[in-house]
Structure 1
Amino acid sequence: MTFVALLHAVNLGARRKVPMAELRALLTGLGLREVRTYIQSGNAVFSADPDPTLRGRLEAALETQFGFPVPVTLRTAHAWQEAAADCPAHLRSEAVVVAFLRDPPDPARVAALRARDVTPERWEVIGQHLYQTVPDGVRTMKLSAAVIERVLGVGVTVRNERTVRAIAALLDT
């Protein structure tokens, strides 16, 4: 089975560095196959047998290797392709980012998030993905990953639409 692993908050500054060559070596050393990475923001594609402990094993190995905790969000190739295709049409007129939720959000928490005014941003939750417009750019998002994580109570990592499409294409090769 093919998986996509998204590492949360790596390579953003002087700290929390995870070089992609070292990440590929680590994943290969864990017995994962066909390991590939995409850009420096912690995106890995690999093949592995289905294993409910995979995310925990990855997080433990990353912390041991790099010396700091690295939350990981996993998707199967099929779930990634669905996420890439599911962006609601009414959001596509602007730049979009996708917040990948580590766990399914509670509907009451989604309602609490919906009560926040984040105009001019617009967003929609579909399954474990929050699609969001970023009309003023990602640096000024009102609905930041930290806000999403706090209000929904689930881990979040965000990728722009270009990265989501590029990884979807990588899965097709």
Structure 2
Amino acid sequence: MPTYIAFLRAINLGPTRKFPKDAIIAAVESVGFTAVATHIASGNVRFQTPLRSRAKIERMLEQAFLADRGFDVPTIVFEASEFAALAAEAAALTAERPGLARHYVYLLKNELDAETVARVEAAASDAGEMIVRGRAAHALLREGYQEGVVDPLGAAKLLGVGTNRNLNVVTTIAAKWC
């Protein structure tokens, strides 16, 4: 049975978007998915299902999360082998750029069109660069980028529905679940 990894966007932020790990597991199991596990409290969940349609899986999870929490939880799903390849590519991008201050991986619901990819990648500056590969956009930030700024390259706003994780979380999840 295929293993999938879902990334939940905008949970456990502030007092009104709480979604404890046990509640996430229960909601995922409520739609019939099995072997459910979470990693840290930022909305990373592994599960198995015989379903093959990523869009259908995302819809089912989003409906279950809305029913459980009462608010929308955008959900981005990857098949485990797809995520393993994404994590390996992320590690390689960092290795090719010694001295990076941060590497954030934006996990996208949908691939970007070529024009948007060009606009995102053109946002490179002294602060760093963004490289798009499939449903992942890598924010590769150099020393001196402005910490605390949500989008230091001004490109994340172009990515559509997605959520980000730092390189450590991406590689840890891949090692643990892929």
Fold similarity call, TM over 0.5: yes
Match runs of 1:107-126 below 5 Å: 107-126=114-133
> Which consecutive residues of structure 1, in runs of 5 or more, have no partner in the other structure?
none
Match runs of 1:1-173 below 5 Å: 1-52=2-53, 53-87=56-90, 88=93, 89-91=95-97, 93-94=99-100, 95-135=102-142, 136=145, 139-140=148-149, 141-143=151-153, 147-148=155-156, 150-152=157-159, 154-172=160-178
How big is each residue's C-alpha offset from its partner over 1:63-92, in whole Å with a ceiling of 9 and x where there is no partner? 111010010000000011001001224345
Letter in 2 for 1:158: N
Letter in 2 for 1:101: L
- Identity, in percent, stands at 28
Letter in 2 for 1:11: N
Letter in 1 for 2:133: I
Q: What TM-score, normalized to structure 1?
A: 0.88
Q: 1:133 to 1:16 in 2, by over 3 A?
A: same
Q: What TM-score, normalized to structure 2?
A: 0.86
How big is each residue's C-alpha offset from its partner over 1:32-81, in whole Å with a ceiling of 9 and x where there is no partner? 11100000000001111124211101101101110100100000000110
- Equivalenced residue count is 168
Letter in 2 for 1:156: G
How big is each residue's C-alpha offset from its partner over 1:124-158, in whole Å with a ceiling of 9 and x where there is no partner? 111111111234476224136xx52x424x31110
> Which consecutive residues of structure 2, in runs of 5 or more, have no partner in the other structure?
none
